[in-house]
Amino acid sequence: MRITVTVDGTNYSDDVEPRTLLVHHLRERLGKVGTVVGCDTSNCGACTVLLNGHSVKSCSVLAVQADGADITTVEGLARDGTLHPVQEAFRDNHGLQCGYCTPGMIMSTIDLLGDDPRPDEHAVREGLEGNLCRCTGYQNIVAAVLDAADRMQGAGGTQ
């Protein structure tokens, strides 16, 4: 089946098998290896991307379901060598340890802050509950999300 998607601002048209998961299409066909495969069961959230502006676990979406969609991966966030405010906040607050969950955490954070630009700690923890950090870095991750909210407000709420 032929699909057309826009990934990180670039249009792609490809033939895919109907059973191909979006995460595998992104990684293997398009080279978007920042979207990691963590569990293939949608439990960990490491493969989270933005699909038409909303976070999805790309291991639970077929590539054919994304036909016509606008997809943003972690690689598509930085602009002209400048990190996205969420990426900066994760870096500055040590919101990563091994880094495996980080792409999914960042993508989920962007969606969370799009829905709730000023979350409190409880809202952050609830908003990220579908993403697992095996290094127990949640304290720093929550701090990073709260900092990112402040940064995005200071930048006029831009994403």
- State pTM to two decimals: 0.94
Q: Could you tell me if 119 and 150 lie in one domain?
A: yes
- Report the share of the chain in percent with pLDDT over 70: 97
Q: Could you tell me if 111 and 52 lie in one domain?
A: no
Q: Could you tell me if 111 and 146 lie in one domain?
A: yes
Of the pLDDT bands very low, low, confident and very high (cuts 50, 70, 90), residue 157 is: low
Has residue 70 been placed in a domain?
yes
Q: Could you tell me if 68 and 89 lie in one domain?
A: no
Q: Could you tell me if 93 and 131 lie in one domain?
A: yes
pLDDT digits (tens, 9 = 90+) for 63-80: 999 999 999 999 999 999
Q: Could you tell me if 7 and 71 lie in one domain?
A: yes
Has residue 101 been placed in a domain?
yes
Range of the domain at 41: 2-75
Q: Could you tell me if 60 and 89 lie in one domain?
A: no
pLDDT digits (tens, 9 = 90+) for 78-93: 999 999 999 999 999 9
Has residue 80 been placed in a domain?
no
* CATH code of residue 15: 3.10.20.30
Of the pLDDT bands very low, low, confident and very high (cuts 50, 70, 90), residue 97 is: confident
Q: State the total domains in the chain.
A: 2
Give the chain's mean pLDDT: 94
Has residue 159 been placed in a domain?
no
Kindly report the CA angle at 29 between 3 and 65, in degrees rounded to 5? 35
Q: Which long-range contacts (CB under 8 A, 24 or more apart) does 64-70 make?
A: 64/1, 64/3, 64/16, 64/18, 64/20, 65/22, 66/3, 66/5, 66/22, 66/25, 67/3, 67/4, 67/5, 68/3, 68/4, 68/5, 69/5, 69/6, 70/5, 70/6
Q: Could you tell me if 125 and 89 lie in one domain?
A: yes
Residues 53-59: what's their mean pLDDT?
Answer: 97
